[in-house]
Amino acid sequence: MAQATSPETLSPSVTDVQTARVALLQRERAVAAARRRREKLFEWTVRGGSLLALLVVWEIFGRQVNKALFAPPSAVVQAAAEMIRSGELWQYLQGSLVVLTIGFAIALVIGIPLGFAMARSPAVYYALDWYIDAFNSTPNVALVPLITLIFGFDITAKVIVVIIASVFAIIVNTEQGVRHVDARLLEVARSFRSSERQLWSDVILPSALPYIAAGVRIAVGRALVGMVVAEFFTSITGIGYLIVRYSNAFQPDHLLVPIVVVMVLGIVLTTVTRAIEARIAPWSRQTEEK
């Protein structure tokens, strides 16, 4: 006579179910990690390949052009090594970084609160909208002579040029971020009797952060342009002065060194802003990946 099997022996135990779930979760994590590694490998392969192709084309073209007009990467590297050994590059770069840091910090302090105010207050928006559009569309180089007439040729004028170059991108993007907050989220928050402070901290600010980060990324590039343009006109220091000096001396190998430094600085600062955005607003990256 066959022995009856109890229900306990037929159904898996709680421990077995938990073990299976843990194993499944670990497998999913391993698959996701492998996918990220493949994506990262593909990313850097494409980046490295494009950079190598650019350098090869640049080297070939640079060797065929008059040395007084253009220089290949090999000559630029030699010039950079010479300028680094002499301390010249760091001496001029240091002054530019001071101007950039002060100007961009002030632009952030002004731009983000003003963008919030314009988005939340119609009076502030109507009072400032025309002027922001006017200055945002005016080339910086057109304002530099006026700024130097008023503030002279010292660091103050250069900082003001950097502020004007970068602050409007921050204002406009911050304003758009606040205006594009999902109305349904605001209704839900109000239905739970959220205070104004909670509304800002829990709904408005998190929703606007991706826009603010995008504005900061744009402003970084504009700040670098403003820094160089200011140094063209206002001083005998900084990266901008190096560009003017070596251009007048017909030394393209030395001329390209500060230009490449500005490009690399732009890449580094943009990468830093993306990392900060991923840190403080990870949900924006998750939304893009869906």
At 178-206, the pLDDT tens digits run 888 777 777 777 777 767 677 777 777 87
**Residue 150's pLDDT is what?**
87
- Give, rounded to a whole angstrom, the gap between the first and last alpha carbons of the chain: 59
DSSP string, 221-273: HHHHHHHHHHHHHH-S-SHHHHHHHHHHTT-HHHHHHHHHHHHHHHHHHHHHH
CATH topology of domain 72-289: MetI-like fold (1.10.3720)
More confident residue, 145 or 281: 145
Cβ atoms of 224 and 52 within 8 Å: the answer is no
Specify the higher pLDDT residue, 26 or 96: 96
* pLDDT at 3 > cutoff 60: no
How far is 128 from 108, CA to CA, in rounded Å? 17
Helix axis angle, 205-234 relative to 239-248, nearest 10°? 40
Least confident of 44-48, 80-84, 113-117, 282-286: 282-286
pTM: 0.81
CA dihedral 280, 282, 288, 290 (to 10 degrees): -170
Q: Is the pLDDT of residue 282 over 90?
A: no
Q: Is the pLDDT of residue 239 over 70?
A: yes
183/119 Cα distance (integer angstroms):
14
Structure tokens at 250: 């017909």
As a whole number, the mean pLDDT across the chain is 84
Indicate if the pLDDT at residue 289 is higher than 60: no
Give the residue with greater pLDDT, 4 vs 185.
Answer: 185
In the predicted model, is pLDDT for residue 286 greater than 70?
A: no
> 1-10, 34-43, 209-218 — which is least confidently predicted?
1-10
pLDDT average, residue stretch 216-227 = 91
The predicted structure's pLDDT at residue 1? 44
Give the model's pLDDT for residue 78: 92
Give the per-residue pLDDT at 103. 94
Q: Is the confidence at residue 176, as pLDDT, over 60?
A: yes
CB 164 within 8 A of CB 143: yes
Give the domain ranges of the chain. 11-61, 72-289
* 3-state secondary structure at position 25: helix
How would you write 163-210 as a 3-class SS string? HHHHHHHHHHHHHHHHHCCCHHHHHHHHHCCCCHHHHHHHHHHHHHHH
Average pLDDT (141-167) is 88
